[in-house]
């Protein structure tokens, strides 16, 4: 079951408490942090804030580029190589496009529950070897599954803007002229 105490929105009292805890770690201990939500401006600001806290360049890895593939064995090799390369250099690791861990719904299933993919389970197990804070960035909070939220030390949500001006600016910024990124929706 999810620990509701570790799930909170950006710029709340709980988020400020999380930042205090993050500062106390001083970048020397593993902590799994999940950033999830559509409001990428706030997500970027929060990532920049964490980077400043560790006084170092963060290692940023895009999971959708040659790390997580549909083939389990290939993904395991890629994850092993990635984690091994980060063990000595990193003070903060940011994994972008974490939706890639979840696979995709095909629409040809009778299940309404999304289970963790084998790649996701293996990835979560391997990143525990990193003795530094790790951020998983989900652009769509609907792509989170219970395995990730249960494993995370903190899940920070970045909901879409609520004021008219913020909504307008956000919608204009998110218009795609050429192509688009279609995430497979979770069943209700």
pTM comes to 0.79
pLDDT in tens, 44-58: 999 999 888 887 678
Asked if residue 179 is part of any domain, the answer here is: no
Any domain includes 182: no
Overall number of domains in the chain: 1
pLDDT of residue 39: 82
Give a yes or no: residue 161 inside a domain: yes
152, 138 Cβ separation under 8 angstroms: no
Residues 6+ apart with CB under 8 A from 10: 37, 39, 42, 43, 46, 156, 157, 158
Note whether residue 137 is domain-resident: yes
Is residue 185 assigned to a domain?
no
Question: Residues 107-113: contacts with CB within 8 Å, 24+ apart?
Answer: 111/187, 112/187, 112/188, 113/187
Q: What is the domain range of residue 58?
A: 4-173
**Residue 144 domain flag:** yes
In a domain, 180, yes or no: no
Query: pLDDT higher for 31 or 90?
Result: 31
Q: Cα separation of 9 and 2, whole Å?
A: 15
**186 found inside a domain:** no
CATH number at residue 27: 3.40.50.300
172 pLDDT higher than 80 = no
């Amino acid at each position: 079951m999810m620990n509701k105490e570790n799930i909170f929105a950006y710029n709340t009292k709980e988020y400020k408490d999380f930042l205090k805890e993050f500062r106390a770690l001083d970048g020397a201990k593993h902590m799994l942090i999940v950033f999830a939500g559509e409001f990428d401006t706030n997500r970027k600001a929060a990532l920049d804030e964490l980077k400043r806290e560790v006084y170092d360049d963060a290692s940023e890895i895009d999971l959708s580029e040659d790390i997580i593939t549909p083939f389990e064995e290939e993904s395991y090799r890629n994850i092993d190589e990635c984690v091994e390369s980060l063990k000595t250099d990193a003070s903060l690791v940011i994994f972008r496009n974490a939706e890639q861990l979840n696979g995709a719904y095909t629409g040809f299933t009778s299940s309404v529950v999304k289970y963790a993919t084998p790649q996701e389970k293996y990835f979560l197990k391997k990143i525990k070897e990193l003795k530094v804070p790790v951020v998983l960035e989900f652009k769509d909070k609907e792509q989170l599954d219970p395995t990730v939220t249960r494993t995370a030390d903190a899940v920070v949500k970045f909901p879409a803007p609520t004021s008219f001006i913020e909504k307008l600016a956000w919608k204009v910024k998110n218009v795609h002229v050429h192509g688009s990124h279609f995430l497979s929706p979770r069943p209700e």
